[in-house]
Amino acid sequence: MKHQTKSQLVLTYLILHVLVSVGVFCVLHFYLLKQYILIEILISVNFSSLLMFGYDKMVAGYERSVRLPENFFFLIATFGGSLGILFGSNLFKHKRQKMSFMVWIFGIILLQIVVIYAVYYFDLLGPLLSS
């Protein structure tokens, strides 16, 4: 088996994350919600982030395991998976003691709150949503 470089590994797991997110989105959209696409996307991305965090915790104890780099978690947190990662860190008791990781995750969550508030307050989506 050929060993992958770190960037190839991150790309592989990013593709896996997207595939799981799309699968969860399809289940939610076709069987449950059907109206709230943004909520479906956020639930899908956060659920997939939670699974990736659980995988990283599961392989953390093995000596020759393939771990996910922290930058991967920062990337998926930036694109909506921050609550899944935060919930996963508490559920799996993983990376909670690593202060730099938690500061980055809380910083990303704070930035997302500011962006959501700005979009809502300044009605930035109004022109896009009106017909």
In the prediction, which pLDDT does 128 show?
A: 58
CA atoms within 13 A of residue 91's CA, in its CB half-sphere: 17
What is the helix (H) or strand (E) element at residue 25, kind and residue range?
helix 6-27
Predicted confidence at residue 2, as pLDDT, reads 59
CA distances from 87 to 51, 66, 77, 81, 95 (A): 11, 22, 12, 10, 11
**DSSP summary character for residue 131:** -
For residue 80, give the nearest of 37, 129, 47, 121 by alpha carbon: 47
Each domain of the chain, given as residue ranges in start order, spans: 6-124
Q: For every one of its 131 residues, what pLDDT tens digit does the chain have, with 9 covering 90 and above?
A: 456 677 777 788 888 888 888 888 888 878 776 667 778 888 889 999 999 888 888 888 787 777 888 888 999 999 989 999 999 988 988 888 889 999 999 999 999 899 888 888 887 766 655 54
Residue of 109, 101, 6 lying closest to 53 (CA atoms): 101
* Of 66, 64, 84, nearest in space to 17 by CA: 84
Structure-block tokens of residue 91: 């559920």
Contact present, 106 and 78 (Cβ < 8 Å): no
| Whether the Cβ atoms of residue 123 and residue 117 lie closer than 8 Å to each other | no
